[in-house]
Structure formats: C-alpha cells, structure tokens
Amino acid sequence: MLSRLGHPYMLLGLTSLIWGANAVAGKLAVGHVSPMMMTLLRWALASLVLLPFAWPHLQRDRAALRGQAGYFVLAGLLGFTGFNSIFYLALNYTTAIHSMIVQSSMPLVVFAGMFLVFRARTSRLQLLGFGLTLVGVLLTAAHGDLTTLLHLEINRGDGLMVLAVLSFGAYTILLSRKPKVHWLTSIFLISLTATLTSIPVALAESAMGYTQWPDSQGWAVLAFSVLLPSIASQSLYIRGIEMIGANRANLFVNLVPIFGTLLAVLILGEPLFAYHVVALTLVLGGILLAEVGKRNQRVVGRPKA
C-alpha cells in the first residue's frame, strides 16, 4: 500500500492531514473519555486490527528482531504512550492556539536532537526553511495578527504540550535508526508496546478517580483515532522517515495546524481568511527551501541527515 503512494512528500502530506484532523478529534474527545483510558483503548484496538496483517511479516523478520525488544519498548513508550497521553491531558487545560504554537517547535527539537546524538548537519537553507514554516504556523495560531502572541499566558497545559513535543521528537529521532524490518512489523510492535506501557498510566488515572469510559461520542472519536491517526498516519510517518530522514520528514509536522485550520473551515464552517492562504504559502515555501538546501548539501558531499 505504502509503495503505491510513492513519493515521500505524498506520504508525509497525508500524515500531516490526518494529524490535523486528529487535533480536532482530540478536542471533541474532552469530556467524553478520559485521557489515559483513551490512550490505552486506542493502542489496544490498533494492535488487534494490525495483528492479522502484521503476523506474516513478524515471522519473516524474526532474525532481524533479535535483541531489538528494548528499541520497540522505548519507541512505543515515547512516541505512542508518552506523546498521546500527555497530548490528550494537555487539551483539557490549554487552547488549540497554544497547542499549535508549542507543536511548531517539534522540527527544532528534532534538528537539535539529530545534531547532538548523530552530528547530523543542517544547511542554512534548511534553517531558513524551518524559520518560514514557523512563521506560517504562528500566523495561523495568531489569526493573522502576530502581536496577539505577546499577550498569551502560559498555563500547565502548555507545559504538558512541551513534554509531549519532547517525547515525540525523541521518538522521531529513534525512528531514524529503526531496525531493517517491514513497516507492518514496526507499527505493530510499537503499538503493542504502547498498549502495555499504557496500562500503568490508565491504572493510575483510575486510582485517582478520573477514569471515564467513552460514551457514544467518545467511541466515535476512538474509532477514528484507531484507524487513521494510530494505524494509517503512523505507518506513513515511519515510511517517510525511512525515505528522506528524520530532519526532513519532521518539517512536514508544521503542515498540521494549517490542515487543521482548513478542516475547520470545511467541516465546521469557520471562515477562511487571507492569512490562512499566506500561512499555507509560508509553510509550503519553507519545506521547499529546506528540501533545496538538503539537495545542495548532498551535492557537496555532506552526510545524510
């Protein structure tokens, strides 16, 4: 399936589109299912759906998987359990504007992490491209008036979002050194370990009396989260990183708030403003600049990021 989609830009663009929709879905889940229960059910159901498709590849990949248990446990803990449980919890305390601003720092986290851990180099054009995408995201979050960002107050939800971004950034860096196994093997094992590592936080939520089982709206959001954000987008993201590397792939994350805004216009009937178009142009232009910078970097013989 992923090979038929072809180009990494298509894979990562679809990933960002699904994540933009998931941000809307996550907000709709507030009050209809508790954050840790949502995380546990999401990955448990995703693992069950994936199992029959992943099983043949798990058998073929047995040799490559020897000694890799720690990798998949850490990946599931950071990227799936850690990020999603903190993300859903943060949405109870912060606004969509704040969450978009904090998430826009994720490419910078990955750039810094790849340099510190693997000494992966970044060209000036890549940094300029990152800056343009950041301006586009902030323009969207500020509704066209960047001066409003000066008056935003930081709350505990924003602090939680910082932790979520650090967790997913670390997961992205891990994916750049993924064992050479089929993508279905990877997504299943990470989902399975996410299920297991979600159990303690779900039990802690229950012990504190905060557990809420999903109602009808909660189940609807959960079904969407299992099929698209949990399975489809994570598979696309893994494949995208395999194709072009963590630094370049993670820059597409800044399309998430743009897609989220456009979906709100299309689905919720919110108005489309000129700054939406400007922001989208800045983000796409920034990604293009970063890609040109990476190609130039390869021409002069620098190592792949």
Quick one: pLDDT at residue 58?
A: 96
Residue 6, pLDDT score: 67
Give dist(CA 127, CA 51) in Å, integer: 40
The pair of structure tokens assigned to 131 is 């800056």
CA distance linking residue 27 with residue 61, whole number of Å? 38
- Placement of tokens 């997961």 in the chain: 171
Contacts of 217-223 with CB under 8 Å at 24 or more apart are 217/28, 217/29, 217/32, 218/29, 218/32, 218/33, 218/38, 219/33, 221/25, 221/26, 221/28, 221/29, 221/32, 221/33, 221/38, 222/29, 222/33, 222/38, 222/41, 222/42, 222/45
As separate numbers, helices (DSSP H) first and strands (DSSP E) second, the chain gives 16, 0
Q: How confident is the chain (305 residues) per 10-residue block, as mean pLDDT? A: 68 90 80 93 96 96 94 94 87 70 76 81 78 80 77 76 90 90 93 95 95 95 94 91 84 80 70 78 81 62 44
pLDDT at 52: 96
| pLDDT, position 213 | 96
Structure confidence by residue, pLDDT tens digits, 172-182: 999 888 899 99
Residue type, 92: N
pTM, full prediction: 0.78
pLDDT, tens only, 262-272: 776 776 666 77
Amino acid at 61: D
DSSP summary character for residue 252: G
